[in-house]
Structure 1
Amino acid sequence: MLRPLWTAAGLLLVGLGVVGVILPMMPGVVFFIGAAYCFARGNPAWEQRLLAHPQVGPHLVAWRTRRAISARGKRAAVAMMALAAALAWWLVGWPWAGVSSAALLAVALWIVTRPG
């Protein structure tokens, strides 16, 4: 009964992942990880297609097996977060930029501590 909902959620996340590949400040792989999770519960054949994808699949398998993020992915994520923090300070200012910068710093520290 829940399989169609898991599949729909997976499709939504794949769509967001595609948008994330195109837009530089939106993470793509995170949404593909979520899509694989949903497809595992809703449509295992689609999960396997996602895991076998030549561009996305290796990142998903690395995350599933070792909770690893590639060095290139870490650099890109931290660079985009630094850009987002700089834009927040320029556009929003104190105190909201400080709050968002603290959150971005916490996430960046978590990302760089993952295996590569």
Structure 2
Amino acid sequence: MPAFILLIFGWVAVALAALGAALPLLPATPFLLLAAWCFARSSPRFHRWLLYRSWFARYLQAWQRHRAMPKGAKFRAICVIVLSFSVSIILLPSVWLRLLLLMVLAALLLFIWRIPVVDEEQ
């Protein structure tokens, strides 16, 4: 695949990850990993920026080195997820959609709970 297409995909993934940091049902992590993969194959400069200077650098470095989350990130992620899902569940009129959101919430929390935590000094 040509480098410029990977570069475009990488920046789209970064934009989606930034949106995912604020929106409840759009996950940020898969888009960050996709951006890192695209930049690693298309632009060493942007790959370094993403891993060492971006707002997401700490999380990506922990994942790349240890396949883990940095200390404190798991708690913050769980709090934001529960808060955003709670607002969505309260505002929805349909019982079926509420149950669906509760099932998605349970699966997401189980997935995040299973990710190990690593200290930044390690």
Alignment TM-score, normalising by the size of structure 1: 0.80
Structure 2 equivalent of residue 114 of structure 1:
115
Give the secondary structure class of the aligned counterpart of 1:88: helix
Query: Among the aligned pairs, what percent are the same residue?
Result: 26
The yes-or-no answer on 1:78 pairing with 2:78 is yes
In 2, Cα distance between equivalents of 1:107 and 1:18: 19
Counterparts of residues 1-116 of structure 1 (less than 5 Å) = 1-20=1-20, 23=22, 25=24, 28=28, 30-53=30-53, 55-92=55-92, 93-116=94-117
In 2, Cα distance between equivalents of 1:39 and 1:74: 26
Shift of 1:9: 0.8
Contact 2:17/2:32, CA 8 A, preserved across alignment? yes
Report the residue type matching 2:40 in the other structure. Answer: A
In 1, Cα distance between equivalents of 2:75 and 2:27: 13
3-12 or 65-74, larger mean C-alpha shift: 65-74
Shift of 1:63: 0.5
In 1, Cα distance between equivalents of 2:27 and 2:54: 18
In 2, Cα distance between equivalents of 1:88 and 1:24: 11
Structure 1's 28 and 89: CA in aligned 2 closer, same or farther, altered over 3 A? closer
Once the two structures are superposed, what CA deviation does each residue of 1:57-114 show, in whole Å capped at 9, x if it has no partner?
Answer: 2211110121111232211221122123322321223111111221121111111111
Contact 2:85/2:101, CA 8 A, preserved across alignment? yes
Shift of 1:45: 2.4
Aligned-pair RMSD on alpha carbons? Answer: 2.3
Shift of 1:56: 2.5
Alignment TM-score, normalising by the size of structure 2: 0.77
* Count of equivalent residues: 115
Give the secondary structure class of the aligned counterpart of 1:95: helix
Give 5+ residue unaligned stretches, structure 1.
none
Report the residue type matching 1:57 in the other structure. Answer: A
